Amino acid sequence: MAAAASLGFVPYTRPTGTDTAEPLKIGVLISGSGTNLQALIDLIAAGKLNASIELVVSSRPSAKGLQRAERAGIQTLTLSKDVYADPIAADEIIAHELLERGCEYVVMAGYMRMVHTPLLAAFPNRVVNLHPALLPSFTGAHAIDDAFARGVKVTGVTVHFANEIYDNGPIIAQRALAVEEGWDVDTLEEHIHAIEHVLYPEVVQMLADGRVHVLESGKVAIDAPRG
């Protein structure tokens, strides 16, 4: 879930002269268990994802994802509730730290805070979010529960860029999931997370390959794989 002040849509590719064989430098924002963070860590370690996690930022000191980052030797930054009392100042701190480490993209992985102008201004069309439903359906923090309660037969996962409207940024990728009879909400959640752990790294790899472009229309174009 993400929201921010409007910055417009500025096409972006990796900086001129960047060898796309080089790992994409990303910062990851978390608030909880960090299972999507772990999926990224594992694929990077296995040589299957051309990215480098330069910093993990947590909005909660108790987030288990911090332990995952520390075990992988990744630097972490934790902000307290007191810092978030001024959300603009908090995002200024986060943006500064990410830029200091040369991050090219910001990847929100279960980050339960809204993002604001300082972060989006530093990374225009480069703040990526994961939503556990097929946007524009079931926006908000309880998408899985809401979809289940509505009795949908198909739901899924969306990866999108953050913009000024909550859960309404340009859509990069979606993957559908057929809901089987007899599933309870916990089973649905397990299947949603399984898709997330595959789709999110795929999108990060597309970003690393320079294949993702935000058009002036606000839509996202994906180049065909090279080779």
- Tens digit of pLDDT per residue, the chain (227 long)? 433 333 333 445 565 344 558 999 999 999 999 999 999 999 999 999 999 999 999 999 999 999 999 999 999 999 999 999 999 999 999 999 999 999 999 999 999 999 999 999 999 999 999 999 999 999 999 999 999 999 999 999 999 999 878 898 999 999 999 999 999 999 999 999 999 999 999 999 999 999 999 999 999 999 999 86
Residue range 60-83, pLDDT digits in tens: 999 999 999 999 999 999 999 999
Please state the residue numbers annotated as binding site: 34-36, 129
161 bridge partner residues:
128
Q: What is the pLDDT of residue 20?
A: 55
At 111 the three-state DSSP class reads coil
Taken in order 8, 10, 14, 16, the sign of the CA dihedral is negative
Task: Extract the runs of DSSP E, i.e. beta strands, from 22-104.
Answer: 24-30, 51-58, 76-78
Query: Does the annotation mark 131 as catalytic?
Result: yes
Q: What is the pLDDT of residue 7?
A: 36
Q: How far is CA 151 from CA 148, 181, 193, in A?
A: 5, 10, 19
- Is residue 107 within 8 Å of 56, Cβ to Cβ? no
According to CATH, the superfamily of the domain at 23-221 is Formyl transferase, N-terminal domain (3.40.50.170)
Report which secondary-structure segment, H or E, holds 19: none
Between CA 217 and CA 194 the distance in angstroms is 32
Taken in order 23, 33, 200, 194, the sign of the CA dihedral is positive
Q: What is the pLDDT of residue 4?
A: 35
- Is residue 79 within 8 Å of 58, Cβ to Cβ? yes
Between CA 198 and CA 206 the distance in angstroms is 13
Catalytic residue from among 116, 131, 160, 191? 131
Q: How far is CA 68 from CA 65, 123, 128, 200, in A?
A: 5, 25, 20, 17
**% of the chain at pLDDT higher than 90:** 87
Please state the residue numbers annotated as binding site for (6R)-10-formyltetrahydrofolate: 129
**Dihedral of the alpha carbons of 159, 194, 145, 141, in degrees to the nearest 10:** -40
